[in-house]
Chains A and B, each alone.
Chain A
């Protein structure tokens, strides 16, 4: 334990924790997407899936607590490393420039908090229903469709998913580096994988509010 704590004190340790928790969160996001896509199979399927989750309350809570811990660690490391950056470069360049750092990597501290704010809103909207105008406990399908029929709500979800896409485009490539998972033979694949997963997650999730707005799902 003390070994783990002193590991976490170094910046490499914090980055490793971000990578491991990031992968756990990514796993959740992928599983969640597969669940969500059942909206296309109709109300019975989606509601049955929601019921299945609730029938396994024990497992559901283990997963929820695990994700909460992962999120807290991920954010804690992000905040501490951002503070460290300010200490390490107290005077910034008057004429800043960059060569190959991409937009996604430079905005991790924007896309990250955007995701966090979205997660809180999303829980209040579709899990607890506190900010939903027409919430019916147990009728997930109805809540999704009625929720996304409000254009600005659908827009908010779409915006958040685009932010998540940027976060993952850099994050997935980045965790390979952070965990030292590199080999000349498949280094290039890491970029393709990050594009494929990020794009898949954005397209899959964004399709749902779009389908509701266009009336494909009602």
Chain B
């Protein structure tokens, strides 16, 4: 099949960007979206042009490196999928697609489709950990955890930090990411001692970096490749209210 692309090209954070039209012929429907871009890049290199810069690593949907918007939808039209796991059979011969980088003040464009997601690392550094003495792994089942809590903590822990939630949010909010990171610890017994402090610092850093507020549009949940639920955002709100005004406030 033949795919028409309009790819966002931007040489650096300071430079201005624009869409560049390209056509990729003979695309196999079994290719992933990134493999289709590999074909485009080989074509560009042969023509002596700059290849399109995009982030990727595992290409199996687990590392969180890849991501850009396809026709305005983060990670493209298929729900619960990263662009590396999105296959060309989801598109039709002759489709015209617009590729843009995540757009948020907190995620400056580095080049073309690559953005700087250091902001996410800062949120995790602010509290996404448990301060314990390290040593050998504890015995299984030495700390009883209910099935509901462990399932829910696991759902939150599935976040791969791709940034699609921020990209899709009309307010560039990082609430889904932050709530997933805070919840997967806050739901477990090991996370209790630092629960309120963690919530407060993670939210404060999230705001400082320049992520936006949540207006409950639920766009984040719709594009999240791990289908993380906005229920975690409600949980973060609840914990933040308690941490700031109720017990546990400084």
Interface residues, chain A, with chain B CB atoms under 8 Å away: 3-4, 6-7, 10-16, 81, 84-85, 87-101, 105-106, 108, 170, 173-174, 176-182, 184, 187
Contact = CB atoms under 8 A, between A and B. Distances in A.
Contacts of B98: 94-95
A88 B172 contact: yes
Contact of A14 (B168, B213, B219, B238): B213
20 contacts: A6-B244, A7-B245, A10-B204, A11-B212, A11-B214, A12-B203, A15-B215, A81-B171, A81-B215, A88-B171, A89-B171, A93-B72, A95-B71, A95-B98, A100-B217, A100-B221, A174-B215, A177-B234, A178-B214, A180-B236
A99 B219 contact: yes
Contacts of B210: 87-88
B25 to A, nearest CB: 23
Contacts, number: 141
Nearest to A187: B231
Interface stretch (B52-60, B100-108, B139-147): B100-108
Interface SS majority for chain A: helix
A88 B73 contact: no
A95 to B, nearest CB: 4
A171 to B, nearest CB: 10
A89 B168 contact: no
Nearest to B221: A100
Contacts of B194: none
A88 B219 contact: no
The 9 residue pairs across chains A and B that have the minimum distance between CB atoms: A97-B72, A180-B238, A11-B213, A88-B212, A101-B217, A99-B222, A182-B234, A88-B172, A95-B98
B233 interface: yes
Given A7-B244, A105-B216, 6 more contacts: A87-B210, A88-B104, A88-B106, A95-B100, A97-B73, A99-B222
A178 B168 CA distance: 19
B153 to A, nearest CB: 14
A177 B210 CA distance: 22
A178 B237 contact: yes
A88 B69 contact: no
Given A15-B214, A98-B72, A105-B217, A180 B100 contact: no
Contacts of A182: 231, 234-235
A180 B173 CA distance: 17
Interface string B36-67: 00000000000000000000000000000000
Contact of A12 (B69, B103, B105, B213): B213
A101 B213 contact: no
Contact of B69 (A89, A90, A97, A101): A97
A10 B234 contact: no
B207 interface: yes
B227 to A, nearest CB: 12
